Amino acid sequence: MGKRVAIIGAGVSGLASIRSCLEEGLEPTCFERSEDIGGLWKFSDHTEEGRASIYQSVFTNSSKEMMCFPDFPYPDDFPNFMHNRKLQEYITAFCKEKNLLKYIQFKTLVSGINKRPDFSITSQWDVTTERNGKKESAIFDAVLICSGHHVYPHLPKESFPGLKLFKGKCFHSREYKEPGIFKGKRVLVLGLGNSGCDIATELSHTAEQVMISSRSGSWVMSRVWDEGYPWDMLFITRFETFLKNNLPTAISDWWYMKQMNARFKHENYGLMPLNRTLRKEPVFNDELPACILCGIVSVKPNVREFTETSAIFEDGTVFEGIDCVIFATGYSYDYPFIDESIIKNKNNEVTLFKGIFPPKLEKPTMAVIGFVQSLGATIPTVDLQARWAVRVIKGTCTLPSVTDMMDDIDKKRGKKLKWFGTSETVQTDYITYMDELASFIGAKPHIPWLFLTDPKLAVEVFFGPCSPYQFRLVGPGKWPGARNAILTQWDRTLKPMKTRGVGKPQKPCLLCRWVRLFVLPVMFIAVFFALI
């Protein structure tokens, strides 16, 4: 084995990192503070300090063909959008298939990561761990931080005057587990993100009244997209990304808003974002519009102030007799086991090259895996991040100079400000980001060459869903089954829905949607000129 690599966390990021180390001949040791793998997706009926927490009813927002490890498809009969229990089953199967368990030390807390005194020469780290009250320290050649960013709740209580007077219960959404205890209660949910909407719609079936307070609104998407296909199989494509990134801004913005409003008019439901052209992460919820129509969930503006039993909103309306306030206000980014100066600068923000490497570290032997967020799924993203990071650690790939890395970070900040409304977000454009990482290791598919040598595959790759298998077609880590997986991805998508035989499964026509999009304007122009 090669260099010794410490991996912090055994969620999907940690497992991808272990596997990447093994692929490159490195020696991984993974430290997991809980007693099982899965990280965020391992449900527990109680919260644990330092660990991500989900509620019992969580389902995936990405479909199975878009969120698998690129060389390990889900079983044909798995549903397209999975309950957390089903996803945990898949993660466990992947771990066993790749024989990763033996590299994980469970119930082990990492309490400190420090540079060795001779770091400038050896690039090594001292990693301090705690297990059963006993502290140990070991030397590692590199560290991969895979502890996620859904651990430390953001509770902006100081932003709500009068909250100290409120006599009801008040807690963060990470503490929410199931709706039973809220029967007959009046609940206010602060925040219009995925957790806030999930909790609000679930509580609406048991609580007396549920209100959501949103400061800026949000686009709400359904998992069920055009003609009933999974949203990401149609929405996340190379061709669509190419058009959005190259069309004039006015046309791109119009098209984006048209897509977001295709299911229902957000203005009519009080959900419209303040800046509707921003590509901020939308909410995925299939129930919210119906709950609003039925009056069991109401959407209100930001809370101006609280009283002992009520909330007064910025529009002057009041929600009386509140029993509980749930803060669905997201999470803060923190790595308490490491000196903040290593990964933070510029206004105390986490600053990482490509969302992975601390740019000013003397030696590139530390990487953060899983810190970015996009419309694409986490699993293929962290798989590609880990593959690149491990090759940098091994010395197969090199990083640019500090100046070039900082210039790139500043450039990306400007793009984030334009696309997402803030330069500090961990959001990124999925396909653009994945292609960038893939190009570093020689794993980016060459589309023009594919059209010349394998046109059938090229059509699927360019016009079809940008599924994870694309990033194991070529280069290091190439998977021989990638081509077949791409050509059969719609078969696996349709299989679990065919529980009653009513005809031949209907796959989408990849080109028809775009032909319709361009033919209609051409027809309109032709008719216009015919009439003049």
DSSP letter for each residue of 393-423: HHTSS----HHHHHHHHHHHHHHHHHHHS-S
300/319 Cα distance (integer angstroms): 10
CB within 8 Å of 468: residues ≥ 6 apart: 66, 67, 68, 69, 70, 377, 379, 380, 383
How far is C-alpha 525 from the chain's CA centre?
41
320/58 Cα distance (integer angstroms): 30
How far is C-alpha 280 from the chain's CA centre?
12
CB within 8 Å of 435: residues ≥ 6 apart: 444
10/30 Cα distance (integer angstroms): 7
Q: Which two tokens stand for residue 305?
A: 């102030």
pLDDT value, residue 427: 78
As to burial, measured by CB atoms within 10 angstroms (0-12 exposed, 13-18 middle, 19+ buried), residue 513 is middle
CB within 8 Å of 498: residues ≥ 6 apart: 505
User: What is the pTM (predicted TM-score) of this model?
Assistant: 0.92
234/237 Cα distance (integer angstroms): 7
Supply φ then ψ for residue 448, to 5 degrees: -55, -40
Supply φ then ψ for residue 31, to 5 degrees: -110, 120
| Contact (CB, 8 A) for 225 and 499 | no
The partner residues of 329 in beta bridges, in order of sequence, read none
311/313 Cα distance (integer angstroms): 6
15/22 Cα distance (integer angstroms): 11
Q: Fill in the DSSP letter of residue 362.
A: S
Q: Considering only CA atoms, which of 133, 150, 131 is closest in space to residue 48?
A: 150
Supply φ then ψ for residue 20, to 5 degrees: -65, -40
Q: Considering only CA atoms, which of 37, 31, 38 is closest in space to residue 108?
A: 31
HSE (side-chain half, CA atoms, 13 Å) at 78: 24
Angle between helices 12-23 and 378-394 (to 10 degrees): 40
415/102 Cα distance (integer angstroms): 42
Burial 224-247 (b: 16+ CB within 10 A, else e): ebeeebbbbbbbbbbbbbeebeee
pLDDT value, residue 280: 76
CB within 8 Å of 150: residues ≥ 6 apart: 40, 52, 174, 331
Range 268-276, long-range pairs (CB < 8 A, 24+ positions): 269/220, 269/299, 270/217, 270/298, 270/299, 270/300, 271/192, 271/214, 271/217, 271/218, 271/219, 271/220, 271/299, 272/217, 273/216, 273/217, 273/218, 273/219, 274/216, 274/217, 275/216, 275/421, 276/219
Q: Which two tokens stand for residue 174?
A: 């990470």
205/306 Cα distance (integer angstroms): 25
The partner residues of 325 in beta bridges, in order of sequence, read 170, 188
* Order of strands, sheet of 318-319, starting from the edge strand that comes earlier in the sequence: 303-306, 311-313, 318-319
Report how far apart, in Å, the C-alpha atoms of 449 and of each of 56, 363, 436, 445, 471 are: 46, 37, 18, 9, 15
Residues found in the chain = 532
Q: Considering only CA atoms, which of 301, 237, 292 is closest in space to residue 264?
A: 292
Domain architecture of the chain: domains with CATH: 4-151+332-440 (3.50.50.60), 154-222+263-331 (3.50.50.60)
Given the structure tokens 């307070």, which residue do they identify? 213
Show the 3-state SS of 111-174: EEEEECCCHHHHCCEEEEEEECCEEEEEEECEEEECCCCCCEECCCHHHCCCHHHCCCEEEEHH
Q: What angle do CA 450, 451, 452 make, to 5 degrees?
A: 90
Q: What is the pLDDT along the chain (532 residues), one digit of tens a residue?
A: 689 999 999 999 999 999 999 999 999 999 999 999 999 999 999 888 888 899 999 999 999 999 999 999 999 999 999 999 999 999 999 999 999 999 999 999 999 999 999 999 999 999 999 999 899 999 999 999 999 888 889 999 999 999 999 999 999 999 999 999 999 999 999 999 999 999 999 999 999 999 999 998 999 999 999 999 999 999 999 999 999 888 898 888 888 899 999 999 999 999 999 887 777 788 999 999 999 999 999 999 999 999 999 999 999 999 999 999 999 999 888 888 998 788 875 555 678 999 999 999 999 999 999 988 888 999 999 999 999 999 999 999 999 999 999 999 888 877 777 767 664 567 788 999 999 999 999 999 999 999 999 999 999 999 999 999 999 999 999 999 999 999 999 999 999 999 888 888 888 877 666 665 665 566 656 665 666 6
